[in-house]
Structure 1
Amino acid sequence: MEHVTIKSDLIIFHYGELAEEDRMLVDIAREATANSYSPYSHFCVGAAVRLEDGTVIRGANQENAAFSVTMCAERSAIFNAQSNYPHLAITHIAIAAKNIDGFVKNPVSPCGSCRQAILEIEQRYGRDIKILLCGVDVIYVFDSIKALLPLSFVDDSMR
């Protein structure tokens, strides 16, 4: 038997410490929460992805009474970007959330399906995507989704 420890690195920023382009992406993700359709959970999630040419695409969660067809904000933004700009890699994604009381204090993390979708885009373009998870003032920054999905399933897993 072998015991293995898996660790992930993250950098914790306060909003004001972020680079201007990252603050802008966080602001757009927060604004995108206003486009959420979440009549069941009342949990509004917004995402903003930046493409390699600087274009920013928004996404917001869209709930459905049949919960399995609900679309998360992250995948909404990613699939929009891939459908309209398939020749451009995604370089960053910022994710923000609010409930009926306002923006959540602590950063929220993508669900497993969204993590897998982000990983697929990293694999497709052969480059990492910077992840910004937004709380009210604290932002968790990861250099790649691999930090949140260390034992991942990718194309090579099927070979």
Structure 2
Amino acid sequence: MKEINISTQLQVYDDCSELTEDVQSLMKAAVKARENAYAPYSKFNVGAALLLDNGEVVIGSNQENASYPSGLCAERTAVYYAGAKYPNSKIIKMAITASSQNQITDSPIPPCGACRQSISEYEIKQKQPIEIFFMGVKGKVVKSNSLANLLPLGFDRSFL
């Protein structure tokens, strides 16, 4: 038997004011997207904003359905829209923010597992890491320099 140790490195900012202006602007776009979430069942609104290498900002919000598996998270909504509208552009940065109608979300909320897998696919496809910033409604912001930090031992096309 051999034991392996997997570690990751993330940066934590006290709040959005510590972010660069371009990331603050991206997070504001994510907040605006979050306001358009359709979440009548979970009451958990999420917004995502992507900065593409062509300068475009693409947004997405979670869209629920009474048949839960039919809904889509904000991150995947934004990533898939970027892939459909700008298929040759790379995703440079992603900002994510989440709020709950049931409680205050004052700690950073990372993407779910399905979204991590989807973002990973695009990161591998573009052969370039995606900077990911995530937060609740207020408080600390976490930055990952790559999705690989959030999904070690990821599943990709090499296994197929």
Q: TM-score under structure 2 normalisation?
A: 0.95
Q: Percent identity?
A: 37
Q: For residues 17 and 102 of structure 2, what CA distance do their matches in structure 1 show?
A: 23
Answer yes or no: is the 8 Å Cα contact 2:133–2:144 preserved in 1.
yes
Match of 1:138 among 124, 134, 140: 140
Answer yes or no: is the 8 Å Cα contact 2:48–2:60 preserved in 1.
yes
The superposition leaves residues 63-97 of structure 1 with CA deviations (integer Å, 9 ceiling, x where unpaired) of: 00110111000000011111000011111111101
Residue 105 of structure 1 corresponds to 106
Residue 79 of structure 1 corresponds to 80
Answer yes or no: is the 8 Å Cα contact 2:134–2:143 preserved in 1.
yes
Q: For residues 60 and 156 of structure 1, what CA distance do their matches in structure 2 show?
A: 31
1:109 match: secondary structure: coil
Matches within 5 A, 1:1-159: 1-13=1-13, 14-100=15-101, 104-135=105-136, 136-158=138-160
TM-aligned CA deviation for residue 152 of structure 1: 0.5
Structure 2 residues without counterparts, runs of 5 or longer: none
The letter of the residue matching 2:146 is S
Relative to structure 1, is the Cα distance of residues 69 and 8 closer, same or farther in structure 2, using a 3 angstrom cutoff? same
TM-aligned CA deviation for residue 99 of structure 1: 1.2
The letter of the residue matching 1:6 is I
Q: For residues 157 and 100 of structure 1, what CA distance do their matches in structure 2 show?
A: 40
The superposition leaves residues 27-54 of structure 1 with CA deviations (integer Å, 9 ceiling, x where unpaired) of: 1111111110000011000000110022
The letter of the residue matching 1:137 is G
Runs of 4+ in 1 over 2 A off after TM superposition: none
Answer yes or no: is the 8 Å Cα contact 1:72–1:114 preserved in 2.
yes
Answer yes or no: is the 8 Å Cα contact 2:43–2:100 preserved in 1.
yes
TM-aligned CA deviation for residue 4 of structure 1: 1.5
**Number of residues paired by the alignment?**
158
The letter of the residue matching 1:148 is L
Q: TM-score under structure 1 normalisation?
A: 0.95
TM-aligned CA deviation for residue 134 of structure 1: 1.4
